[in-house]
Amino acid sequence: MEEFFNALCRFFLNSDSLFDMVLSALYIAGLWGLFRKSGVKSWWALIPGARDYQLARCAGREPEGRIFSLTGAASAIANLVLGLLSADVLTNEYVDESEIIMLLVILVLSFVRFIYNIRVWNGMCEVYGRRKRWLFLVALPETQWIPALLWGYSPKYQPQWQVEDIRAEMARLATSGSAEVMDEGLTVNLKERTVTDFFQKKTLLRDIHMSIPQGHMVLLLGGSGAGKTTYLNAINGYEKADAEVILNGANVYTQYKKMQYEVGFVPQTEMMRGKDTVLNTLLDAARLRLPKDVSAKQRRERVDEVMDIFGLKPAKNTLVEKLSGGQKKRLSISIEFISNPSLFILDEPDSGLDGVMARELFVQLRKIADTGKIVIVITHTPDRVIDLFDDVIVLAKDSARTGRLAWYGSVEDARRFFGREKMEEIVKCVNSKGEGGDGLADEFVMKYAEVQHG
Evaluate if residue 198 carries a pLDDT over 70.
no
CA atoms within 13 A on the CB side of 24: 11
pLDDT category at 393 given cuts 50, 70, 90 is very high
Helix 441-453 × helix 423-430 angle, to 10°: 100
Write the single-letter amino acid at 308. Answer: D
Task: Note the helical H segments in 131-224.
Answer: 135-138, 145-153, 163-172
Name the pTM for this structure.
0.68
Q: Where along the chain do its domains lie?
A: 2-160, 169-262+341-453
Exposure of 91 by Cβ count < 10 A (0-12 exposed, 13-18 middle, 19+ buried)? exposed
The stretch 380-385 carries a mean pLDDT of 90
Euclidean distance between CA atoms 299 and 264, whole angstroms: 17
Residues 141, 145, 149: CA angle, nearest 5 degrees: 170
More confident residue, 415 or 61: 415
pLDDT the model gives residue 348: 87
Mean pLDDT across 74-96 = 63
Burial class for 88, CB neighbours closer than 10 Å (0-12, 13-18, 19+): exposed
Instruction: Write the CATH number of the domain with boundaries 169-262+341-453.
Output: 3.40.50.300
Q: What is the mean pLDDT of residues 349-372?
A: 87
Q: How far apart are CA 252 and CA 245, in angstroms?
A: 6
On the question of pLDDT at 203 being above 90, the answer is no
For residue 140, report the phi and psi dihedrals to the nearest 5 degrees: -115, 135
Q: What are phi and psi of 398, to 5 degrees?
A: -75, -175
Residue type, 168: A
| Res 111 pLDDT > 60 | yes
Contact 266, 336 (CB under 8 A): yes
pLDDT score recorded for residue 82? 67
Q: What is the pLDDT of residue 65?
A: 83
Give the per-residue pLDDT at 172. 54
Contacts of 93 (CB under 8 A, 6+ apart): none
Distances (CA, A) of 96 to 90, 122, 157: 12, 39, 49
Cα 141 from Cα 30, distance rounded (Å): 13
- Residue 4: predicted pLDDT: 47
Predicted local distance difference test score (pLDDT) of residue 370: 93
State the pLDDT confidence band at 291, using cuts at 50, 70 and 90. confident
Give dist(CA 21, CA 99) in Å, integer: 24
Residue 37: pLDDT above 50? Answer: yes
86 or 118: which leads in pLDDT: 118
Average pLDDT over residues 441-449: 88
Report phi then psi at 127, rounded to 5: -65, -40
Rounded average pLDDT over 107-130: 88
Alpha helix ranges (H) inside 61-96: 62-85
The DSSP code sequence of 296-359 is: HHHHHHHHHHHHHHTT-GGGTTSBGGGS-HHHHHHHHHHHHHTT--SEEEEESTTTT--HHHHH
> What's the pLDDT at 89?
47
C-alpha dihedral, 214 to 217 to 222 to 225, nearest 10°: 70
What does the pLDDT read at residue 17? 65
User: What angle do the packed helices 355-370 and 325-337 form, to 10 degrees?
Assistant: 20
Percent of residues, the chain, with pLDDT higher than 70: 88
Pairing mode, strands 242-247 and 250-251? antiparallel
pLDDT, residue 177, reads 62
Q: Which helix (H) or strand (E) element contains residue 29?
A: helix 15-37
Half-sphere exposure (Cβ direction) of 131: Cα atoms closer than 13 Å? 2
Average pLDDT for residues 331-349, to the nearest whole number? 89
Residues 372, 267, 290, 315, CA torsion sign: positive
CA 106, CA 272: separation in Å to the nearest integer? 44
98-133 in b/e burial notation, b at 16+ Cβ within 10 A?
A: ebeebeebbeebeebbeebbebbbbbbbbbbebeee
pLDDT at 267: 81
Contact 311, 331 (CB under 8 A): no
